[in-house]
A and B are shown apart, each in its own frame.
Chain A
Amino acid sequence: MSEQVALERSYRRILAWYPQSFRAGSEDEILAVLLATAEDGQTRVGLAEAWDLVRGAVRMRLWPAAPRPRSVRVAVKLMLAGAAAELAALITVIATLGSVRAAVAARDATAMQAVHLHQVTIIALAPVAIGMWLWLAWANGRGQDWARPLSAACFGLISLSVIAGLAQGAAAFAPATMIAAAVVWTLGLSSVALILTPAAGRYYRPQPAQQ
């Protein structure tokens, strides 16, 4: 009997690696199966068994099984679209760098500095923005609760940058980038609205011992 107690303890040590939501509902159940399949007189977890259990724990943590509600699935796609839109804007700015400068220089040389600043800002920030979109898409897809306030904060930053762009009169000299900004802003607004719906909320905070 003490053998079984020792074996049970060593199984529980590995089961501690599983997500709390799984352990709350199924730890005793999986333990019963482990003990039923153990060899007679076995006191320690075998190597292959331990590997199988750890692999299961890693899989459950990396790819939680809770089905994503539709709103979260759509929000993740919109965030990926946001990354694509930023990338398109970046490519456009780089591709038209020279021609825009030439056009502005010919028309209004005093605006040159503002255009320069605008182009440099986009080229510097777009890669960061693309990274953020991708990261938030991944985190929201996994139901990380911190991803929601962070997404909302990022949307706030996008809004501020759009307002700043309008205030600087970017619409006058760079209508294309303002259209891109509007697209990005709309994607941000709709994805944040989707992850804040009640249906999405249940995904971010799964009930323990769910059925």
Chain B
Amino acid sequence: MQEATFLILTALADGSQHGYGIITEVRHISEGRVKLRAGTLYTALDRLRADGLIGVDREEIVEGRLRRYYRLTPDGTAVLAEEAARLHANATAALRRLNPGLAGGTA
């Protein structure tokens, strides 16, 4: 899973968001490191919707423009949980090898 995809799913993990909301959430989650652009975001959303990992929560018209809110589907939640566990395990292994003395203590 690409990092952008992982962060988009993470942005939706605790509630629905619209496109712009996802961009700001992703920037916040990655501590300013990942600045999603609209093209990348919508290519990813298109694919995630087709794969059934996200769905449309609701639509609103704000200042004459369509605002669509996305949410995780149960499949999306499962895939995100699995990927997070995998990354967590990898990161734990890396830290354990870098700091043998701290093994187990902080993980």
Contacts and interface: CB of A to CB of B under 8 A. Distances in A.
A and B: real partners?
yes
B94 interface: no
A211 interface: yes
A65 B20 contact: no
Interface residues of B, number: 21
A56 B39 contact: yes
A112 interface: no
A22 interface: yes
B46 A36 contact: no
A124 interface: no
B98 interface: no
B67 A49 contact: no
A59 B41 CA distance: 12
Contacts of A30: 19, 38, 42
Contact of B20 (A32, A55, A59, A67): A32
Nearest to A46: B37
B66 interface: yes
Interface in A51-66: 52-57, 59-60, 65-66
A40 interface: no
Contact of A52 (B19, B38, B49, B50): B38
A29 B68 contact: yes
Given A53-B38, A55-B43, A65-B49, 9 more contacts: A22-B42, A28-B65, A29-B67, A37-B38, A49-B38, A52-B39, A55-B40, A56-B39, A67-B50
5 contacts: A22-B46, A52-B37, A53-B39, A55-B43, A66-B50
